[in-house]
Structure 1
Amino acid sequence: MRVATALTGTVLLMCGALALCAGLGAFGAAWQLRPVLDPAVVRYAARNAWFWPVLASAAEFLALVGLAWLIREGRAALRRWRPALRGHVRAQVRWAGRSCSATPSGCPASRRCGCGSPAARPGRGC
């Protein structure tokens, strides 16, 4: 999905850059003075009153689909991070932090690495 999104973004960026270059006259005066919509499209839109509302509805539909996709991706990202936000996980981390900071020898990691109280291991602390 990320590749498709990156390709779509690249294509849209290149189209926008080409349109900007054409508007600034990089391809000659003929492209710079040319209208955005072809005169045939303008005549068709003038004859059919439904043209612009249908075009606006299609654009709004695409925007809503994009927004729904963005919300879905945000929820998926939140689900990936949610275990770290649960109350019992935070309580366990708080308990482990308090027990390790109060007495280093009480921490399971310090027992595994051989760090105990300085009195038990003279000359070598944690």
Structure 2
Amino acid sequence: MKLTVDGLHVTLDHQPILRDVSLDAAQGDIVGLIGPNGSGKSTLLRAVYRSLRPAQGVVRVAGDDVWKLPARTAARRTAAVLQDSNSNAVGLCVQEIVALGRTPHHGLLGRDGAEDHRAVAEAMDVCGARPLAER
């Protein structure tokens, strides 16, 4: 899916963190965000996956403003694996972490089914992560 960030401004505690950030990434593009600590890389990603609402600008995934979509629909389009050592994923194997991406596709008490297992296996194959499944 295409990702577009247009004129994004993010403030935290009334302090500007990002100013007028724009980005276009087509489906299949690999994009790296690089910069020193505190330059706004994580803040940009938080705005993309709806963890932090921008003060101005728009984030579009597949042409839709993520902040105008229902949360569940937006969650089906974006995901993040964070580097935080205190994350909830501690103690999970790689396959279980990948399977977390299926959560927005379930009902309230939904569980993984055959389609979910196929999607997880395919995602791991595409990334070459199948040998790491149990780590």
TM-score (norm. length: structure 1): 0.21
Q: Which has the higher helix share?
A: 1
TM-score (norm. length: structure 2): 0.20
**Which structure has more RCO (C-alpha within 8 Å, separation ≥ 6)?**
2
| Structure of greater Rg | 1
Q: Which has the higher strand share?
A: 2
